[in-house]
Amino acid sequence: MSHDLFEAARTAMGFAYAPYSKFPVGAAIRADDGKVYAGANIENISFPQGWCAEPTAIGAMIMGGAKKIVEIAVIAEKLPLCPPCGGCRQKIAEFASPSTRIYLCDETGVKETMTINELLPHSFKTEVIG
């Protein structure tokens, strides 16, 4: 992973809106168009209405016109490793191939690299819908 993806995730974490959990998270995607799309978690006083950093980055990627996640970095300053939550794994899988790399970072850089297939080996999918 090039350093710019990590830096984008760390910068995005600084934009987190997390007044309730005080648990900022940043995510950065390198997409199939070669661009980096970043996002942070955005909470809400009605707690279930908040969302994670990964879907913010996915939304930016889609609105930027890209279609696929090539690689993604995730960072949370309060955890040595912040693997995406279950729901985010499914959201990432929607736009990834099984070998898409996920970089789990701390403040200094990448600490562990996994594929989406390792994180979510049995993602929901169906041939019926396509």
Active site residues: 54
Kindly state the number of chain residues that form the binding site for Zn ion, as judged by CB under 5 A: 3
CB closer to Zn ion out of 57 and 88 = 88
Q: x/- string (CB under 5 A) for Zn ion, residues 11-50?
A: ----------------------------------------
Instruction: Decide whether 33 or 79 has the Cβ nearer to Zn ion.
Output: 79
Binder of Zn ion out of 27, 52, 116, 119 (CB under 5 A): 52
Please report whether residue 96 would count as binding Zn ion according to CB under 5 A: no
Q: What is the DSSP string of 37-100?
A: EEEE-B--SSGGG-B-HHHHHHHHHHHTT---EEEEEEEETTSS--PPPHHHHHHHHHTS-TT-
Residue 5 vs 88, nearer CB to Zn ion: 88
- Counting DSSP H helices and E strands in the chain, the numbers are 4, 5
Cα separation of 123 and 121, whole Å?
6
